[in-house]
Amino acid sequence: MCGIVGYIGKRDVAPLLLEGLQRLEYRGYDSAGVVITSPKATGLKMVKAKGRVRDLEARVPKRFTGTTGIAHTRWATHGAPSDENAHPHLDGENKVAVVHNGIIDNASELRAKLIADGVEFRSETDTEVLTHLIARSTAEKLEDRVREALRHIEGTYGIAVLHADFNDRIVVARNGSPVVLGIGEKEMFVASDVAALVSHTRQVVTLDDGEMATIKADDYRTYTTEGSRTSAEPTTVEWEAESYDMGGHDTYMHKEIFEQADAVDRVLRGRIDDRFSTVHLGGLNLDAHDARKVRRVKILGCGTSYHAGMIGAQMIEELARIPADAEPASEFRYRNAVVDPDTLYVAVSQSGETYDVLAAVQELKRKGARVFGVVNVVGSAIAREADAGVYVHAGPEVCVVSTKCFTNTTVAFGLLALHLGRIRDLSVSDGKRIIAGLRQLPAQIEQMLEREDEIKKLAQEFAEAKSMLFIGRVRGYPVAREASLKLKEVSYIHAEAYPASELKHGPLALIEPALPTVAIVPDDDLLEKNRAALEEIKARSGKILAVAHQEQEKADHTIVVPKNEDELDPILMGIPLQLLAYHTALALGRDIDKPRNLAKSVTVE
């Protein structure tokens, strides 16, 4: 989705902002722009362009110098991708420049009023409304002008404002869309995502909703939109700048798939308690007394995080014997669900910014529910909104398509399930068994990734398919769901996931040689049932790829995955299918890290 970068200091600002925009490219966008000034300048200089940051760069004139500026990558909501609709947006006198993430819900109403007052619009965006409102304010200070304008706005925003008459500062505000300040030595940064800052500073201040800030080269202050000062102590970002580099891989997706053994090692580190055959989850704030009172667990997430939640729900039921299920947060938030005080609600999100998940959390909290977060990005909106939670420590995930974060989230759920289980009825020996299984994961992931060449060959065949079916039963079903999503997102091949148990209730009609089936066949108590499904497909001349713990006779090919404990098997079984999706997309020449129409963080409805 949209990205914001800003800088004020002594350095030449344009190259800094363009570099920052490049670091935000992974979020997905359709146009970009930059506006700059400097203390001695009398006006603003702006360039914007439809397309990639490199298209913008090509348009930057030679003498485009300054020491203060804001920049943006846009994901179209109001108005098609175009030069005019790209941010920043200027007022009629070219004095106020605004970049904005989020959506202004009452933009058409405000636009109509402004037009009736004689304002001429240059774009179709909702953001331009805000620019004109700021420009029309007669308040003395820029901060008050912005504040006054924001009073008219309904909707979500993360904004940065530059004003030609106040060129010693940038004013920013947040409501529902992230804004992070980066504190440097006699220079300040602002961004919507720490990815744009970490190569310059690791000291950051994350604004809360309803908060604003003024940044100057050597100073910053934060306050509410009502004007009262807030305390904003900087925190240190753990993620290194190098984590955002490709590290010798051709794509981030490939790099992130291959980082999974280390990432899993991180989520386990320091959490296992061998003495009591359990785990410590520091951020959980749930004592044994409260944990015993949980009667149900409801997991909410979107896309891949939802699928990780499906696996998590099964682990919690199996290990802790608490009824648990997962639901897309995007559905849950609209269905006026019954909120039960004895249910533990768990919000799952890689980015911690997904609007549908955040909205579900806010609705739950409004109704008095207790909400835990299982989140990757430290300090993100969902992490802050949740009452407690578990960080998944996957490190920055840049590819739009989630891989390592899916795996780490499932491991984090394994830890949570074990923790709840050992407080309830899971025996010491079962606790030991699960801990041993968790410890085996990194080595087993390495083992599986060694089979890349075999999977690459298979992918060449699958690249010709028009559609694919993914099936799995119980533990295998969420794996099939996630594998199907991975394939369609990155290769654009149509894929459908179905419970293997439902085959004969309909999807069997689709089986023919041209429709390959990927079957998840773990060596668990349902092995024979799964084999029967393979027979049914084979009898109809369907082509089968099995992901299994042993060769499957009925399959045309089996990817053999190392066996772990039954409950933990789903964590591993998705990994070869991430590689399958990757190599299929590669064979088809897709834009792997930035699939069409998709964004990394879906911060709008």
Q: Based on CB atoms, which residue is closest to ligand M6R, 47 or 310?
A: 310
CB of 303 to ligand M6R, least distance (A): 2
3-state class (DSSP) for residue 128: helix
Could you check whether the bond before residue 88 is cis, i.e. omega within 30 degrees of 0?
Answer: yes
- Of the chain, the end-to-end C-alpha distance in Å amounts to 11
CB of 393 to ligand M6R, least distance (A): 14
Going by C-alpha positions, the residue among 467, 540, 466 that lies closest to residue 504 is: 540
CA dist 356 → 94, 124, 206 (Å)? 36, 25, 21
Per the rule left: phi > 0, alpha: psi between -120 and 50, beta: everything else, 506 is left
Binding of residue 410 to ligand M6R (CB under 6 A): no
Query: From CA 598, how far away is CA 319, in angstroms rounded?
Result: 36
Q: Based on CB atoms, which residue is closest to ligand M6R, 577 or 602?
A: 602
CB of 287 to ligand M6R, least distance (A): 28
- Interface residue with ligand M6R among 3, 176, 303, 309 (CB under 6 A) is 303
Q: Based on CB atoms, which residue is closest to ligand M6R, 291 or 468?
A: 468
- Give the footprint of ligand M6R on residues 484-503 (CB under 6 A): 489
- Interface residue with ligand M6R among 277, 330, 402, 578 (CB under 6 A) is 402
Going by C-alpha positions, the residue among 47, 87, 80 that lies closest to residue 63 is: 47
Binding of residue 76 to ligand M6R (CB under 6 A): no
CA dist 576 → 469, 487, 507, 534 (Å)? 16, 12, 24, 19
Query: From CA 576, how far away is CA 563, in angstroms rounded?
Result: 14
- Positive or negative CA dihedral for 187, 193, 197, 203? positive
Count of residues that bind ligand M6R according to CB under 6 A: 16
CB of 353 to ligand M6R, least distance (A): 7
- Give the footprint of ligand M6R on residues 513-532 (CB under 6 A): none
- Give the footprint of ligand M6R on residues 243-302 (CB under 6 A): 302
CB of 381 to ligand M6R, least distance (A): 10
Binding of residue 311 to ligand M6R (CB under 6 A): no
- Give the footprint of ligand M6R on residues 569-598 (CB under 6 A): 598
Catalytic site residues? 2, 600
Minimal CB distance residue for ligand M6R: 303
Q: Based on CB atoms, which residue is closest to ligand M6R, 209 or 489?
A: 489
Q: Based on CB atoms, which residue is closest to ligand M6R, 406 or 477?
A: 406
Binding of residue 603 to ligand M6R (CB under 6 A): no
CB of 358 to ligand M6R, least distance (A): 9
- Give the footprint of ligand M6R on residues 354-373 (CB under 6 A): 354, 357
Q: What is the dihedral of CA 51, 52, 54, 60, to 10 degrees?
A: 50
**For ligand M6R, which stretch binds (CB under 6 A), given 66-74, 365-373, 399-407, 450-458?**
399-407
Q: Based on CB atoms, which residue is closest to ligand M6R, 419 or 486?
A: 486
- Give the footprint of ligand M6R on residues 418-437 (CB under 6 A): none
**279 pairs with which residues across the strands?**
272
Other Cβ atoms within 10 Å of 39 Cβ, number? 11
Q: What is the dihedral of CA 500, 502, 504, 510, to 10 degrees?
A: -80
Binding string, 312-351, against ligand M6R, x = CB under 6 A? -------------------------------------xxx
Query: From CA 560, how far away is CA 552, in angstroms rounded?
Result: 9
Query: From CA 77, how far away is CA 84, in angstroms rounded?
Result: 14
CB of 484 to ligand M6R, least distance (A): 12
Going by C-alpha positions, the residue among 195, 307, 281 that lies closest to residue 242 is: 195
CB of 193 to ligand M6R, least distance (A): 12
Per the rule left: phi > 0, alpha: psi between -120 and 50, beta: everything else, 540 is alpha
Other Cβ atoms within 10 Å of 220 Cβ, number? 21
Other Cβ atoms within 10 Å of 61 Cβ, number? 9
Binding string, 374-393, against ligand M6R, x = CB under 6 A? --------------------
Q: Which residues bind ligand M6R (CB under 6 A)?
A: 302-305, 349-351, 354, 357, 400-402, 489, 598, 601-602
